[in-house]
Amino acid sequence: MSWSTLAFAQVSQAVVNGTAREVVTVARGIAQAGGGETTALVWGPGGAAEAGRELVGFGADKVYCCELPGLEWRQPDLAAVTVAKLIKEVGYRVVVFPSTARGADVAARTAALLSAPMASNVVSWELVDDTLEVVRPVFAGRATATVRLSGGPVLITVRSNVFSPRPAQGAGVVETMAVEASSAEGRRGVRVTGFEEGRRDRLSVGEAPIVVSGGRGLGGPENWGLIEDLAEALGPDAALGASRAVVDAGWRPHDEQVGQTGKTVSPNLYIAVGISGAIQHLAGMRTSKRIVAINRDPRAPIFGVADYGVVGDVFEVLPALTEAVREVREGG
């Protein structure tokens, strides 16, 4: 069986997001290591075709574009049935999904439909004895599991921001694929009937390249302006995060929570402000590329995972940092 791979590249508009490039990069890497072709399935609303052409530049030999109107692209059963059918027809050995909420959902449904083995949140892979071996963090990053997925097809979701997108020239055949909206009918499924847009002024914490998180050290919700100011100074790439303690106290909404029972994030830069670093918090952010800790207590466990630390009162340190960030960013 050849190592042909399929990347499920979910797009929400014409713009290709980072995760779509990452899944194609991983699919391309595996296909090349094993000697096979890379295919990308671009799934989204209008604009998917444009997105597809961009993905050729990340090594896709073939791109199928599925543009679905209205809420159709949000239907998880339709996505899973379509992907499963394509996998069966073509016989891909490995299928790569993003570990976003939607990507992980479609992956799990597809794995269930095909009775195929699946590994979530993969952070590295290797071909060993003609078998795919992957590493994934488990127990909230307190252990890593090496898992062997044999036969085909096998499915993986890849953790966001771990695999850097690598430009590569694929053969680049872009085709539009018609999706029969009726193909998931007859199944007892769910129907997405609406979408409520969240805050658009900031990226969500799970996808942002920079995260500024606040904890109890901020003293109260009335002081969150300091966190927002720093995020503002860092630009549109920065999102807000929060510790479990402050979410449970009602200071911040639960969709900002980073940690074991919140979001797992791996941004390029994670700034923890007034967060002591309980294990359940470290679980959600320890794979970040660079971690900055700002805390009054030099013995706080957060310094144990930090690349850079500043000890001090957050009410003095934060304004100074925000100002300095503005200066260095404006200074070019």
Partner 1 sequence: MNVIACIKRVPDSAARIRPAADGKSINAAGVKFVTSPFDELALEEALRQRDEAGEGTVTAISVGPPECADILRSALALGADEAVLLSRGEEHRLDPVMAAGALAEEIRECAFDLVLTGKQAIDDEGGQAPALLAEALGVPFAPAAVALTVEDGRAVARREVEGGLEILEFDLPAVVSVDKGINLPRYPNLKGIMAAKRKPLEVKEAAGRSTGRLELVALEEPPPKGAGRILGEGPDAARELAHVLREEESLI
Contacts of partner 1 in 149-178 (CB under 8 A): 149-151, 154
Tokens standing for 223? 């002081």
229 touches partner 1 (CB under 8 A): no
Site string for partner 1, 260-299 (x = CB under 8 A): xxx-x---xx--------xxx--x--x---xxxxx---x-
Q: What does the alpha-carbon distance between residue 125 and residue 33 come to, in Å, rounded to a whole number?
A: 11
Sheet architecture: strand order including 173-176: 118-122, 154-158, 94-98, 5-10, 38-44, 62-67, 173-176
Name the minimum Å distance from CB 292 to partner 1: 7
**56/160 with CB nearer partner 1:** 160
Phi, psi of 237 (to 5 degrees): -75, -10
Tell me how long the chain is.
332
47 touches partner 1 (CB under 8 A): no
Question: Of 87, 112, 14, whose CA–CA distance to 54 is shortest?
Answer: 14
From 50, 228, 232, 255, residue interacting with partner 1 (rule: CB under 8 A):
255
Binders of partner 1 among residues 206 to 225 (CB under 8 A) are: 206-207, 210
**48/149 with CB nearer partner 1:** 149
From 69, 89, 115, 186, residue interacting with partner 1 (rule: CB under 8 A):
115
Name the minimum Å distance from CB 169 to partner 1: 26
105 touches partner 1 (CB under 8 A): yes
Site size toward partner 1 (CB under 8 A) is 97
Site string for partner 1, 4-43 (x = CB under 8 A): --------x-------------------------------
Q: What does the alpha-carbon distance between residue 35 and residue 48 come to, in Å, rounded to a whole number?
A: 28
Q: What does the angle CA 142 – CA 143 – CA 145 come to, to the nearest 5 degrees?
A: 150
Q: Are strands 124-128 and 131-138 parallel, antiparallel or unpaired?
A: antiparallel
Name the minimum Å distance from CB 315 to partner 1: 10
**169/254 with CB nearer partner 1:** 254
Site string for partner 1, 116-135 (x = CB under 8 A): xxxxxx-----------x--
**87/116 with CB nearer partner 1:** 116
73 touches partner 1 (CB under 8 A): no
Taking CB under 8 A as the binding criterion, the range among 31-39, 162-170, 171-179, 196-204 that sits at the site for partner 1 is: 196-204
Query: 243 CB contacts (<8 Å, ≥6 apart)?
Result: 213, 214, 215, 216, 257, 258, 259, 275, 278, 281
186 touches partner 1 (CB under 8 A): no
Q: What is the DSSP string of 87-156?
A: HHHHT-SEEEEE-SHHHHHHHHHHHHHHT--EEEEE-EEEEETTEEEEEEEEGGGTEEEEEEE-SS-EEE
320 touches partner 1 (CB under 8 A): yes
